[in-house]
């Protein structure tokens, strides 16, 4: 189904799948067609994942929007994303947190880190930085973060990410095996994570030290 951007935004609101105005506005503003491979522009607003480089995918718009709503983003926040992929999710977050906010998005695959950087630039996003490296260890240099989002499936919440989250902060992460995961939302309260299950989703596996592949 590819009825376009506005149709999808209306659908989310009428079905109450996603109601956070900030998420809806960012979705309407950021051109997803700048983040897909050339030849796929026409599919940019189909509610499906699309291929990018290195056998990875840009997540389905509805999945992205549900995760961003769960993140409870506010202007001025510092956010860490693991799994830059196309850079699209980082662009949405950067748009929501605004110029006082900052996004660090980590990418394991060099080709994709370059792809994300190029796409963000083309979309005119200048408060998101792509970091090439293993995000399962987090990005200590800029910690702690108000919010952390992981867009690849992990076997559990990596310890390093829990550590790098501020008190009161929220992490949203798919947890499970290679075939099926539950998106978990966790808030850090008195140093401990209080988790909530947002339901079943399918993601590509997290690579690296704490990933599913090694």
Instruction: Give the catalytic positions in this structure.
Output: 59
User: Which residues ranging from 101 to 120 are in contact with ligand SAH (CB under 6 A)?
Assistant: 106-109, 112
Candidates 82, 93, 103, 128: give the one binding ligand SAH (CB under 6 A): 82
Instruction: Out of 61, 85, 101, 169, point to the residue binding ligand SAH (CB under 6 A).
Output: 85
Residue numbers 5-34 binding ligand SAH by CB under 6 A: none
Q: How far is the CB of 169 from ligand SAH (least distance, A)?
A: 19
Which residue reads 């662009």 in tokens? 91
CA–CA gap between residue 191 and residue 152 (Å, rounded): 24
49-68 residues near ligand SAH, rule: CB under 6 A: 56-59
Q: Is residue 41 within 8 Å of residue 110, measured between CB atoms?
A: no
Picking from 79, 106, 115, the residue whose alpha carbon sits closest to that of residue 94 is 79
Cα-based distances in Å from 211 to 167, 171, 182? 25, 17, 16
- Which of 14, 133 has the CB closer to ligand SAH? 133
Q: Establish if 206 lies at the interface with ligand SAH (CB under 6 A).
A: yes
CA distance 108 to 145: 20
CB of 189 to ligand SAH, least distance (A): 26
Interface residue with ligand SAH, options 22, 32, 102, 207 (CB under 6 A): 207
Q: Are 183 and 202 in contact (CB under 8 A)?
A: no
Output the smallest distance, CB 107 to ligand SAH, in A.
5
Place of tokens 């339901």: 199
For residue 193, cis peptide bond before it (omega within 30 degrees of 0): no
Handedness of CA 37, 41, 42, 43 (dihedral sign): positive
Q: How far is the CB of 86 from ligand SAH (least distance, A)?
A: 3
Q: Give residues in contact with ligand SAH (CB under 6 A).
A: 56-59, 82-83, 85-86, 88-89, 106-109, 112, 134-136, 151-152, 204, 206-208, 211
């Amino acid at each position: 189904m590819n009825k376009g951007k506005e149709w999808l935004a209306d659908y989310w609101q009428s079905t109450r799948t996603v109601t956070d105005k900030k998420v809806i506005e960012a979705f309407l503003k950021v051109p997803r067609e700048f983040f897909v491979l050339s030849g796929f522009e026409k599919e940019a607003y189909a509610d499906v994942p699309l291929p990018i480089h290195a056998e990875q995918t840009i997540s389905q718009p509805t999945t992205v929007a549900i995760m961003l709503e769960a993140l409870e983003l506010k202007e001025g926040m510092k956010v860490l994303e693991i799994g830059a992929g196309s850079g699209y999710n980082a662009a949405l977050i950067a748009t929501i947190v605004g110029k006082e906010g900052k996004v660090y998005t980590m990418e394991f695959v060099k080709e994709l880190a370059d792809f994300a950087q190029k796409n963000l630039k083309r979309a005119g996003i200048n408060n998101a930085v792509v970091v090439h490296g293993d995000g399962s260890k987090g990005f200590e240099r800029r910690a702690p973060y108000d919010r952390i989002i992981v867009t690849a499936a992990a076997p559990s919440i990596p310890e390093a990410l829990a550590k790098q989250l501020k008190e009161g902060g929220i992490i949203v992460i798919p947890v499970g095996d290679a075939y099926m995961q539950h998106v978990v939302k966790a808030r850090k309260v008195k140093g401990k994570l209080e988790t909530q299950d947002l339901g079943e989703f399918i993601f590509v596996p997290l690579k690296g030290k704490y990933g599913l592949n090694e």
